[in-house]
Structure 1
Amino acid sequence: MKLNTIKRTAICVSLLAAVSCTDNFEEINTNPNGITTQLLEQDFNHIKGLFGPMLNNILVLTPEWKYQVQQGLQADIWSGYMATGTAFRGGTNNTTYDLVDGWNGFAWGAAYGDVMSNAYEIEQKAKGKYDQFYALSLIIKVEGMHRVTDTYGPIVYSKFGTTDPIIAYDSQEEVYNLMFKELDIAVAELTKRVDANEVSSFATTDLSSYKGDYKQWVKFANSLRLRLAMRIVKKNPTLAKTEAEKAIAHKFGVFTTNSDLFKVVSPVYTNPIATISGAWGDVRMSADMESIMGGYNDPRLAAFFDTSVQFPGQYKGVRSGIEIAAKADHVDFSGIGGVVRSKEMVLMTTAEVYFLRSEGALRGWNMGGDDQGLYESGITSSFGQHAVSGAAAYIADNVKTAKAYVDPNFPANNGVALNNVTVAWNAVATNEVKLQKIITQKWIAGFPEGQEAWSDYRRTGYPKLLPVLKNTSGGKIDSNLGVRRVNFVQSEKDGNAGGVATGLAKLGGADTGGTRLWWDTLGGNF
């Protein structure tokens, strides 16, 4: 995280401590090899060195077990993307809805120890002086921290960096409003620099696929705005429409080609899912993926998954939330495939943006296209991203639907097909059916990034997922509704109890995995 090797996460065990650490940045950053501040400031190295840890910890790249507890045993499971045949903690864990505090703090710790803290330091060093870096840090901060508020609900945001004895939480509504304003600042600043033909000084240290290209960063900011706008559509439809149309109307617009998609490219580390699935055998294709993609005979299956060792030539998934006697029972089902065997972590796809626009058009917003055309462009974009042929025939299929799930080893895990929509667009279908098609295809195209898929499932109820068969939540989480959020973290309860109390008051419900977030409202989608 630092220009030397000291990690703030090793120093600050709670958010309160993490904030207090901001008072001695220079002391912590003193390089024992004698590099002076003047040398570090040449070519902005005292600022640029802070971006790598931000980008590398939106999703933790190493060690792999940290990713596993940050997201692998949370959103990747709850989204219906993956399942585990490993009986962690005797089979009583996040996958069976007994949320493990010892796991669930890692998403918080990575965000505050590496994303939020470095964004704060960049703000102190760059705002009003080197605003191009401040603007870039805001975009990365929003990308990293919206995931945190979408996991926990109220979080520390506006008060981060203060020395107050109690660090108050912002409500999720307040966080979203601040994020929209931060994207405004970033887009305006970087657009101005593109218009001036400024050569980026961020290229050599930009670990994203953009390599310092300001115009691409603006497109990402606009696309991110569109994602956040859609998230709040049921809670504040007026603001959602305004923000979404603002993203589309900007002269640089949003993602339109696969070269636009946003990914972190590590010079060293392979996507941690490759190890968790391949070397450890801890995650497998989910039963939901087998049911939906298998039912559609989706050509992308081979890009996403390996065929089963136990059942050669077949794609076999594991149902989540089942009784597990031994890891060997399902370890020879389908592992996660070539999509994770690279040094890339894709955090936002062009396909997602087309599906967001399709949903917006379905709602009557000005999205620069009609709902059907944008929907079909989303599918085509996903096929292109994975170099898979057959998109046109897939788009035209109005027969195939999801298939029933069969566990050939344990029939008690079988499940009926729930997601009963075809791929082909139907202009006379209800808006609800059209939305189900959009979100189902968006869910497929987003694999393997489970955070966004989990959020979409909570917001819309789509795609329809198989309920867990083993629920160890003690009644806190409904088996049919799934996990809605993660409990506030123990380090905060120990070190910032007063702040947690403000968060609980703004949550509006019990501090359990069954309490809905602000944007996760009851009722229909229209």
Structure 2
Amino acid sequence: MKINNIKKSLVCLGLLSLVSCTDDFQEINTNTYGASNELLEQDFNNIRTLFPPIFNNIIVLDPVWWYQVQQGLQGDIWSGYMATPTPFAGGTNNTTYDLVDGWNGYAWTSGYKDIMANVYKLEQRTKGKYDQFYALSLILKVEAMHRITDTYGPIVYSEFGTEDALIEYDEQKEVYNQMFKELDIAVTELTPRATADGVTEFTGTDITGYKGDFKKWVKFANTLRLRLAMHIVKIDPSLAKTEAEKAVSHSFGVLTTNEDTFKIISPNYNNPIATISDAWQDIRMSADMESIMGGYNDPRTSVYFKTSDQFSGQYKGVRTGIEIAAKSDHSGFSGIGSVVNTKEIVLMTAAEAYFLRAEGALRGWSMGGDAKSLYEQGITTSFSQYGVSGAATYIADGTATAKPYVDPNFPVNNSPAVNTVTVAWDAAATNEVKLQKIITQKWIAGFPEGQEAWTEWRRTGYPKLFPVLKNTSGGKITTQFGVRRLNYPQSEKAGNPDGLATGIAKLGGSDTGGTRLWWDVNKANF
């Protein structure tokens, strides 16, 4: 299936209609076929059924085309991870900064219809009664919805579930503050409930790798706090330090081993990227990945990508934002490799935690280690995650840098390398160069989860990516700074126009892809 084949009859729901679907809980929870609410509550059956839609829609696993427009042609592209050989919308689309109005609603709809609506029901059924389930729902809510606010900016958050005619948006600052408080509630509730054997009443419901182990869920919540803290370091460095140190100093700490990886293990769906790459050939290795990983001779390349069908034995990437006349011009370049041939959807790794801590240590925070050792541990952990050898040699390489990009079919797309730092830690380097090394390695280790990589690229400017050659935004998005956010969807314009007006007012700029978010401050990293 291709984007052009999506049914045009798909109805986008406004928030008012989504909220109305969560009212009248007594009526909804009455089973007219004979099972009473009391029977449904046995073994938490009335609670368990609300978790699968959340798990399966943090990123949408099915249908595949939904993932393609939710993230594949957004964060995965803008992060520099992947590129498309397909000239969608006549070759003028998200890749050339002419954001397709219609693609921008899928992330929003999933966030509210599948995440917030079910979290709201879980709150009604569990808060004050089964608080362990309420705590878990809060962690999932923060994991899912930080992606939404980091995509759009101000969002409906604190007022979701109200019956007011006007559903007002929260400033992104307030969304983050509430998320920190929700993580406080979750960690406080689950910490004393952790058991030695990890078996809990959530074990049979949990389709992550944690299998109901509350200690691992707390470690994930702490690492999620650390991630959010780093997001805000340029706008509120004091709060960022406080929250980051709180995460690391907790008795359970943050993710430290690959067994701690937060991943959805779907019993029914494969990673959608595999279909988009293999069956549809709509996604390929990016020129940025070819330049950086190829320049470093990175052993993980063979896990992340396949060699080119057109150029035997070579890894060839496609540059984003180029003139594409036909899909066949680049569809023979490298597809995505075995990393996506799985039912496991990885959303956070121990390697990311080490790189977050490395940056925190670089900033003088108490992170349980120095920047160099945490940076190198992040690389080692990533290599181990993929069963790849050679980490020590890779870490010690102070010579190799990214290589120039060459498009053998269209030389007009060629470019010298732009992200020219080496891997080896250099104690004499400036903090800016050290940060570039940390974020570059974090970027490599995070593949293929492009949403967070796009966020970190916006926050830090690293790794440096090839600029687009074809910018069709009409001046809304600059070639220098790229896409900073996604514009609000048509469903809100139709279903919650007055509320949307509050969001745009709090955005601090026009509702375009060039407007920076609250934490996306245009100033130096140090």
Q: Using structure 2 for the length normalisation, give the TM-score.
A: 0.97
Rounded to whole Å, the distance in 1 between the matches of 2:360 and 2:376 is 14
In structure 2, the partner of 1:292 is: 292
Per-residue CA deviations over 1:248-292 (Å, capped at 9, x if unaligned) read 110000001000010000011100000000100000000000000
- 8 Å Cα contact 2:12-2:491 kept in structure 1: no
Moved more, 118-127 or 16-25: 16-25
Rounded to whole Å, the distance in 2 between the matches of 1:213 and 1:401 is 42
- 8 Å Cα contact 1:12-1:21 kept in structure 2: no
Rounded to whole Å, the distance in 2 between the matches of 1:222 and 1:438 is 20
User: Deviation at 1:11?
Assistant: 8.6
SS of the counterpart of 1:109? Answer: helix
SS of the counterpart of 2:347? Answer: strand
In structure 2, the partner of 1:424 is: 424
Per-residue CA deviations over 1:323-374 (Å, capped at 9, x if unaligned) read 1111111111000000000001000011000000000000000000000000
In structure 1, the partner of 2:137 is: 137
Change (3 A) 1:175 1:476: same
> Which residue identity lines up with residue 477 of structure 2 in the other structure?
I
> Which residue identity lines up with residue 138 of structure 1 in the other structure?
L
In structure 2, the partner of 1:182 is: 182
SS of the counterpart of 1:146? Answer: helix
In structure 1, the partner of 2:499 is: 499
In structure 2, the partner of 1:339 is: 339
Moved more, 389-398 or 94-103: 94-103
Rounded to whole Å, the distance in 2 between the matches of 1:29 and 1:104 is 33
User: Deviation at 1:195?
Assistant: 6.7
Change (3 A) 1:288 1:30: farther
In structure 2, the partner of 1:263 is: 263
- 8 Å Cα contact 1:287-1:317 kept in structure 2: yes
- Residue segments in structure 1 that go unaligned for 5+ positions in a row: 1-9
User: Deviation at 1:32?
Assistant: 6.6
User: Deviation at 1:120?
Assistant: 0.5
Rounded to whole Å, the distance in 2 between the matches of 1:410 and 1:195 is 59
User: Deviation at 1:100?
Assistant: 1.2
Rounded to whole Å, the distance in 2 between the matches of 1:11 and 1:133 is 32
In structure 2, the partner of 1:406 is: 406
In structure 1, the partner of 2:7 is: none
Q: Structure 2 matches for 1:290-369, cutoff 5 A? A: 290-369=290-369
User: Deviation at 1:31?
Assistant: 5.3
Structure 1 residue 512 corresponds to structure 2 residue 475? no
In structure 2, the partner of 1:468 is: 468
Q: Structure 2 matches for 1:32-111, cutoff 5 A? A: 34-111=34-111
> Which residue identity lines up with residue 298 of structure 1 in the other structure?
D
User: Deviation at 1:198?
Assistant: 8.8
Q: Structure 2 matches for 1:243-254, cutoff 5 A? A: 243-254=243-254
User: Deviation at 1:194?
Assistant: 1.9
> Which residue identity lines up with residue 167 of structure 1 in the other structure?
I
Rounded to whole Å, the distance in 1 between the matches of 2:199 and 2:444 is 38
Rounded to whole Å, the distance in 1 between the matches of 2:198 and 2:83 is 47
Change (3 A) 1:213 1:297: same
Structure 1 residue 281 corresponds to structure 2 residue 281? yes
Rounded to whole Å, the distance in 2 between the matches of 1:368 and 1:38 is 48
Per-residue CA deviations over 1:447-498 (Å, capped at 9, x if unaligned) read 0000000000000000000011111110000112110000011100111011
Rounded to whole Å, the distance in 1 between the matches of 2:101 and 2:182 is 31
> Which residue identity lines up with residue 100 of structure 2 in the other structure?
V
User: Deviation at 1:39?
Assistant: 2.6
Change (3 A) 1:341 1:34: farther
Q: Structure 2 matches for 1:212-223, cutoff 5 A? A: 212-223=212-223
> Which residue identity lines up with residue 250 of structure 1 in the other structure?
H
Moved more, 14-23 or 381-390: 14-23
Q: Using structure 1 for the length normalisation, give the TM-score.
A: 0.97
Rounded to whole Å, the distance in 2 between the matches of 1:247 and 1:46 is 32
Rounded to whole Å, the distance in 2 between the matches of 1:198 and 1:480 is 49
Per-residue CA deviations over 1:121-170 (Å, capped at 9, x if unaligned) read 00000000000000000000000000000000000000000001010000
SS of the counterpart of 2:405? Answer: coil
Rounded to whole Å, the distance in 1 between the matches of 2:22 and 2:204 is 27
SS of the counterpart of 1:157? Answer: coil
- 8 Å Cα contact 1:477-1:513 kept in structure 2: yes
User: Deviation at 1:35?
Assistant: 3.8
User: Deviation at 1:37?
Assistant: 2.4
User: Deviation at 1:26?
Assistant: 5.0
Moved more, 40-49 or 181-190: 40-49
In structure 2, the partner of 1:478 is: 478
- 8 Å Cα contact 2:58-2:144 kept in structure 1: yes
- 8 Å Cα contact 2:31-2:37 kept in structure 1: no
In structure 2, the partner of 1:201 is: 201
User: Deviation at 1:82?
Assistant: 0.3
Rounded to whole Å, the distance in 1 between the matches of 2:523 and 2:236 is 14
User: Deviation at 1:66?
Assistant: 0.3
Rounded to whole Å, the distance in 1 between the matches of 2:108 and 2:119 is 15
SS of the counterpart of 2:263? Answer: strand
- 8 Å Cα contact 1:308-1:332 kept in structure 2: yes
User: Deviation at 1:20?
Assistant: 1.5
Per-residue CA deviations over 1:356-394 (Å, capped at 9, x if unaligned) read 000000000000000000000000000000000000000
- Residue segments in structure 2 that go unaligned for 5+ positions in a row: 1-9
Q: Structure 2 matches for 1:389-404, cutoff 5 A? A: 389-404=389-404
Rounded to whole Å, the distance in 2 between the matches of 1:12 and 1:308 is 39
User: Deviation at 1:181?
Assistant: 0.3
User: Deviation at 1:219?
Assistant: 0.2
In structure 2, the partner of 1:3 is: none
SS of the counterpart of 1:345? Answer: strand
- 8 Å Cα contact 1:15-1:112 kept in structure 2: yes
User: Deviation at 1:205?
Assistant: 1.1
User: Deviation at 1:25?
Assistant: 4.3
Q: Structure 2 matches for 1:10-29, cutoff 5 A? A: 13-28=13-28
In structure 1, the partner of 2:3 is: none
Identity in percent: 72
Rounded to whole Å, the distance in 2 between the matches of 1:213 and 1:119 is 20
- 8 Å Cα contact 1:138-1:183 kept in structure 2: yes
- 8 Å Cα contact 2:198-2:215 kept in structure 1: no
- 8 Å Cα contact 1:12-1:18 kept in structure 2: no
Change (3 A) 1:16 1:46: same
> Which residue identity lines up with residue 194 of structure 2 in the other structure?
V
User: Deviation at 1:197?
Assistant: 8.5
Rounded to whole Å, the distance in 2 between the matches of 1:385 and 1:58 is 22
In structure 1, the partner of 2:5 is: none
- 8 Å Cα contact 2:198-2:214 kept in structure 1: no
> Which residue identity lines up with residue 291 of structure 2 in the other structure?
S
